[in-house]
Amino acid sequence: MEKKWPLWEIFVRSKNGLEHRHFGSLHAADADMALENARDVYTRRSEGVSIWVVESKNITASNPENNGELFEPAQDKVYRHPTFYTLPDEIKHM
Amino acid sequence: MSDAQLKNLEEIFEQRIANDEKIEPKDWMPEKYRKTHIRQISQHAHSEIVGMLPEGNWITRAPSLRRKVALLAKVQDEAGHGLYLYSACETLGISRDELYEQLHSGKAKYSSIFNYPTVTWADMGAIGWLVDGAAIINQVPLCNTSYGPYARAMIRVCKEESFHQRQGFEIMMTLCNGTEAQKQMAQDALNRWWWPSLMMLGPVDAESVHTEQSMKWKLKRKTNDELRQQFIDQTVPQADILGLTVPDPDLKWNEETGHYDFGEINWDEFWQVVKGHGPCNKERMNARVGAWEKGTWVRDAAMAYAEKQQNKKENPAKAV
């Protein structure tokens, strides 16, 4: 019969205080197996203290073709940055 | 898409790579870029997977527990490297099963070096020292290649690879400091692995069909001949430290060029092995295909179990 094992995305927190970061992906029959495999594939040298697994099909990603309308509007909004505002020289820190 | 539009996209694409920008899976890319990457990344993944076989031969016969845990860890790393690379390759729109199918049918290649037999324990030393040494030289520049998922996988691979080479060198060193018979065993392993290791870095530049395009896409940062010279220059002094003789009567330091001159490589042998006529090509493929086929029921059972668990979760009332 052979039903394919689905693909999972693996996120690892390398130490407490840091966020989970995408490490890669792997195939597994279910979430439990994905966790076990992720431990063996991505944390053989103490790279992590916590693992998230998400089945790849559940991730919705933006499309680079839409990058213009999505991200370009931020480029001309310089007033969102502190350097847009002028301060007298006497003020050293603000 | 019109030809003009396509040409425009291609120009923008080449410019991005020239500017050292990375290409990510959902970005537009020329079909040839995708195909070339699938070929190279999968070939690399297959090499990691088949590369476990010659070493697996010695796990049960490692001479001490220290050597055994190290060899086990190394072989496990190779499985891991294969997996990083397969998943990087899948981001280009090819499935894992198609990749395996290409390996098993002989359509895809893997590194020719793994078609040589591992007849003594010293071969574990020579493989780590020479084969992994050559692999590192090949791989380090790839940490900077243009395709994001491949570059990220390579960074992880390279971090883990240096333990492989060191453990190999340590095996050689121990043998060389041992009895005369042990030293002879180390010399014999060097004699057999030296030339295949040089071949492993690929055909001479004049005959390498993919080099030019690959350099442009940063899939390659140095040519095969440059990598080979680098490997020889760095390895010969290490052989001297071991007190072993590199099996090349023409090898000598060239004061003028600042490199070693070396003898003619037997390329007929290389092409024979690539074409499937090496000493162990059949044995390797039989082992690999056999493992995959014998594992079918395990993969099926895992899937059936996962579905059963899922059903139980969704319909707790129906569960018996």
Q: If you count residue pairs, one on A and one on B, with CB atoms under 8 Å apart, how many are there? A: 55
Amino acid B319: pLDDT: 55
Amino acid B28: pLDDT: 95
Q: How far apart are CA A22 and CA B88, in angstroms?
A: 13
Which pair of structure tokens corresponds to residue B165?
């080479």
A12 occurs within a structural domain: yes
Question: Please, which pLDDT band fits residue A69 given cuts at 50, 70 and 90?
Answer: very high
Q: Is residue A19 over pLDDT 60?
A: yes
Q: How far apart are CA B241 and CA B229, in angstroms?
A: 19
Sorted by sequence, the CB contacts under 8 Å of residue A16 that are 6+ apart come out as A49
Amino acid A2: pLDDT: 65
* Angle in degrees, 0-180, between the axes of helices B65-90 and B52-59, rounded to the nearest 10: 160
CB-based contact, A27 to chain B, within 8 Å:
yes
Q: Nearest Cβ partner of A44 from B80, B88, B306?
A: B80
Q: Is residue A77 over pLDDT 70?
A: yes
Q: Which of B28, B78, B163, B299 to mutate to test the interface with A (most CBs of A within 10 A)?
A: B299
- What is the sign, positive or negative, of the torsion defined by CA atoms of B190, B191, B197, B198? positive
Question: Contact at 8 Å (CB) between B205 and B172?
Answer: no
Q: Nearest Cβ partner of B26 from A3, A41, A64?
A: A64
Q: How far apart are CA B74 and CA B99, in angstroms?
A: 23
Q: How far apart are CA B307 and CA B198, in angstroms?
A: 49
A32 occurs within a structural domain: yes
Amino acid B210: pLDDT: 81
Q: How many domains does chain A have?
A: 1
Question: Please, which pLDDT band fits residue A21 given cuts at 50, 70 and 90?
Answer: very high
Question: Please, which pLDDT band fits residue A94 given cuts at 50, 70 and 90?
Answer: confident
A69 occurs within a structural domain: no
Min Cα–Cα distance to chain A from B182, Å: 33
Amino acid B212: pLDDT: 81
Domain range spanning residue A36? 2-58
> A78-93 pLDDT, tens per residue?
999 999 999 999 998 8
> For position A6, which CATH number holds?
3.10.20.520
Q: Nearest Cβ partner of B306 from A2, A29, A61?
A: A29
CB spacing of A41 vs B96 below 8 angstroms? no
A29 occurs within a structural domain: yes
Contacts of B95 in chain A (CB under 8 A): 4
Amino acid B162: pLDDT: 87
A6 occurs within a structural domain: yes
Question: Contact at 8 Å (CB) between B73 and A40?
Answer: no
Question: Contact at 8 Å (CB) between B158 and B140?
Answer: yes
Residues 93-112 of B with CB under 8 A from A: 95-97
CB spacing of B300 vs A64 below 8 angstroms? no
Residues 145-164 of B with CB under 8 A from A: 152-153, 156, 160
> B179-225 pLDDT, tens per residue?
999 999 999 999 999 999 999 999 998 888 888 888 889 888 899 99
Instruction: Report residues of chain B scoring pLDDT below 50.
Output: none
A93 occurs within a structural domain: no
ipTM: 0.90
**Counting beta carbons within 10 angstroms of the beta carbon of residue B210, is it exposed (0 to 12), middle (13 to 18) or buried (19 or more)?**
middle
Q: How far apart are CA B225 and CA B223, in angstroms?
A: 5
CB-based contact, A2 to chain B, within 8 Å:
yes
CB atoms within 10 A of CB B37: 25
Within chain B, strands assigned E span 252-254, 259-261
Sheet holding A20-27, edge to edge: A20-27, A7-13, A50-55
Q: How far apart are CA B214 and CA B222, in angstroms?
A: 10
Amino acid at B102: Q
- Angle in degrees, CA A51, A61, B155, rounded to 5: 50
Calculate the alpha carbon distances from B70 to A4, B59, B153, B214, B298 in Å.
Answer: 33, 9, 22, 35, 28
Amino acid B320: pLDDT: 53
Which pair of structure tokens corresponds to residue A71?
């991200």
Which candidate, B105, B108, B57, B64, places its Cα nearest to that of B86? B108
Min Cα–Cα distance to chain B from A5, Å: 7
Q: Is residue A3 over pLDDT 90?
A: no
Average pLDDT over residues A10-14: 98
> B233-277 pLDDT, tens per residue?
999 999 999 999 999 999 999 999 999 999 999 999 999 999 999
Min Cα–Cα distance to chain B from A63, Å: 7
A33 occurs within a structural domain: yes
A63 occurs within a structural domain: no
- What is the sign, positive or negative, of the torsion defined by CA atoms of B209, B211, B214, B216? negative
Amino acid B62: pLDDT: 97
